[in-house]
């Protein structure tokens, strides 16, 4: 079982910021349904720990609220006002760095982190249908969102 002391507070912060970057990247991949997607971020943040009960790694990861995390990310944003592609690229890079941190410090949690990233990303992507007309037709996860999720999955630990 993971002990909170296996990583520094800066490393935990990086993992938390990565999760927010992932959800933001999916949200901006296709601009439709932003309100539903923002609600999905909060819902996913609340639901994710329930998927991994009694897991210290998950407890530490979700010890900050999405609003607190958003404020932290705003202060540390390396590219304020970045465009869509830069924001997505930054999120992918943060996933790659997070993967390295986890491999080094808590390798037993690699699959847990992968599952959490995928859960949060897909939760945001499914928040609103893209395309269609008056709620008829459309895709649950649009091609642009799927492409972003696939880019992130590519740098996460293999299943």
Q: What is the pLDDT of residues 24-65, one digit of tens each?
A: 999 888 877 778 888 888 889 899 999 988 899 999 999 877
Residue 71 above 70 pLDDT?
no
Q: Which two tokens stand for residue 23?
A: 């959800």
List, in sequence order, every beta strand (DSSP E) within 39-143.
none
pTM, entire model: 0.85
Q: Which residues pair with 139 in a beta bridge?
A: 130
The model's confidence at residue 67, banded by pLDDT at 50, 70 and 90, is low
Separation of alpha carbons 64 and 70, rounded Å:
10
Q: Which residues does 155 contact at the CB level (< 8 Å), separation at least 6?
A: 92, 95, 96, 99
Q: What is the pLDDT of residue 37?
A: 83
Bigger pLDDT: 95 vs 80: 95
């Amino acid at each position: 079982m993971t002990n909170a002391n296996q990583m520094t507070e800066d490393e935990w912060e990086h993992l938390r910021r990565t999760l927010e970057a992932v959800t933001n990247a999916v949200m901006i991949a296709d601009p439709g349904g932003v309100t539903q997607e923002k609600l999905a971020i909060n819902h996913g943040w609340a639901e994710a720990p329930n998927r991994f009960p009694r897991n210290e790694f998950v407890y530490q990861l979700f010890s900050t609220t999405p609003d607190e995390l958003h404020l932290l990310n705003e202060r540390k944003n390396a590219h304020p006002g970045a465009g869509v592609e830069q924001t997505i690229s930054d999120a992918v890079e943060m996933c790659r760095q997070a993967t390295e941190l986890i491999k080094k410090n808590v390798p037993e949690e690699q699959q847990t982190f992968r599952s959490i990233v995928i859960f949060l990303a897909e939760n945001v992507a499914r928040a609103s249908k893209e395309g269609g007309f008056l709620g008829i037709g459309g895709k649950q996860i649009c091609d642009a969102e799927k492409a972003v999720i696939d880019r992130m999955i590519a740098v996460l630990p293999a299943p």
